[in-house]
Amino acid sequence: MSTIADAGTGKRKARATKPLKQKMGSLRRKEAVAGYLFISPWIIGFLIFTLGAMVYSLVISFSYYQLATDTARPAGFANYERLFEDPKVMGSLGNTLFYAVLAVPFEIVLALGLAMLLNSVRRGAGFFRTVFYLPKMTPTVATASMFLLLLNGNQGAINRGLAAIGIQGPQWLLDPDWVKPSIVLMTLWGVAGTMVIFLAALQNVPTELYEVAEVDGAGPFRRFWNITLPMISGAVFFNVLVLTIAAFQVFDQAFLLFHRDQVQGSSDASLFYAIYLFQQAFRQFDFGFASAMAWLLFVIIVAISLIQVKVGNRFVYYESER
């Protein structure tokens, strides 16, 4: 990097006599070179680890890749055809979709509810925000290892608590119907990440709007529906989009609770798309098929994002200065 400086100071005297226009041109060129040098780490990384990797992935998805020999026989569309023949692909996709539809609304409602509660108390909001945020700081392995025990169907604290109020708790980790709610519960425990984004949005709603509405006789529900919700619609949209994309890639929690090893006979109910992809890639080493799965996921995520952006554009209110 110091070479730029040396070159610059060395040439400065020589250039002083050149015509102004030429001087401007060379200054501009120097600026461009410095710019490219500064961003060169990203360019290199992008070319290798993103663009190069994407092209590589596309190529592999059309081949039978053998890791041991590092050979790739051409496979045509075989890997992609398998996507529709392997029932586990569609099964895991269904699980993932089901999980997303279950998790995202719960997360949004709880996060918004807590944020509004925090936003409406005069004292202690900072304290409670910190308390609510601690689970979010807890590493997923720690969360999963404690929920593995808390959710234990026979002795776990959650079912003991439910029994205390006369409810027979389900076999959270064994019953295929309760596998996804278990993960939703774990995810909800860390809802504070979404909550603080809502909180920030709520704090930016101008107070005057509520005052005017109150003078006009609008009750709490109308104030929420006609002022709060439109004013924070940007945050709602952002959170729904981000949470949906995250839900489609759910991996850590499901892996830790249900798929730590192959011996463990976990039911198909917990086989999420990212889990199956991981198994195909790094347990079966079927890189061709795994890459085809990855591209299907990519297409699905892009499609869902586009739909949400389209719907969002219709409902999201943007202030003119934003």
Partner 1 sequence: MATQTSIKTVQAAGAIAEVPPEDVQVRRRRKWFGDARGQSLTPMGWVGQIVRWVLLLLFAALFMYPLAWLLAASLKPRGEVFDNRLIPNTFVPENYLVAFDEMPLANWIGNSIFIAVLAAVLVAVSSSLVAFGFAYYRFPGRGILFGIVLATMMLPGAVTLVPQYLIWNQLGFVGTHVPLWGANLFGSAFYIFLQRQFFLGLPRELFEAAKLDGLSAWGQFWRIAMPLSVPSFVIILLFEFQASWNNLQAALIYLNTGSQEGYTVPLGIASAMTKYSPTAGGQGDYQYVMVAAVLVTIPMLILFAFGQRSFITGIATTGRKG
Site for partner 1 in 4-23 (CB under 8 A): 4-5, 8-9
* Complex with partner 1: residue 180 or 259, whichever CB lies closer: 259
Q: Which of 25, 45, 94, 176 touches partner 1 (CB under 8 A)?
A: 45
Does position 306 interact with partner 1 (CB under 8 A)? The reply is no
Site residues for partner 1, 74-113, by CB under 8 A, read: none
Q: Give the Cα separation of 227 and 284 in Å (integer).
A: 53
Does position 229 interact with partner 1 (CB under 8 A)? The reply is no
Q: Is 269 exposed, middle or buried (0-12, 13-18, 19+ CB in 10 A)?
A: middle
Q: Give the Cα separation of 153 and 175 in Å (integer).
A: 9
User: Across-strand partners of 63?
Assistant: 74
Does position 26 interact with partner 1 (CB under 8 A)? The reply is no
Does position 199 interact with partner 1 (CB under 8 A)? The reply is yes
The structure tokens listed for 179 are 């596998």
The interface mask with partner 1, positions 142-171, x = CB under 8 A, is xxxxxxxxx-x--xxx--x-----------
Q: Which of 89, 179, 196, 236 touches partner 1 (CB under 8 A)?
A: 196
**Shortest spacing between CB 322 and partner 1, in angstroms:** 15
Does position 225 interact with partner 1 (CB under 8 A)? The reply is no
Does position 242 interact with partner 1 (CB under 8 A)? The reply is yes
Q: Which of 28, 71, 77, 176 touches partner 1 (CB under 8 A)?
A: 28
Specify the stretch interacting with partner 1 by CB under 8 A; choose among 1-9, 13-21, 93-101, 311-319: 1-9
Residue bearing tokens 């992609």: 80
Site residues for partner 1, 47-76, by CB under 8 A, read: 48-50, 52-54, 56-57, 60, 67
Does position 130 interact with partner 1 (CB under 8 A)? The reply is yes
Q: Which of 208, 261, 319, 321 touches partner 1 (CB under 8 A)?
A: 261
* Complex with partner 1: residue 131 or 311, whichever CB lies closer: 131
Residues with Cβ within 8 Å of 94's Cβ and at least 6 positions away in sequence, in order, are none
The structure tokens listed for 145 are 């290892």
Q: How far is CA 265 from CA 148, 181, 313, in A?
A: 16, 19, 45
User: Across-strand partners of 64?
Assistant: 73
* Complex with partner 1: residue 83 or 256, whichever CB lies closer: 256
Per-residue exposure over 146-177, b if at least 16 CB sit within 10 Å of its own CB, e if not: ebbebbbeeebebbeeeeeeeeebbbbbbeee
Q: Give the Cα separation of 215 and 101 in Å (integer).
A: 39
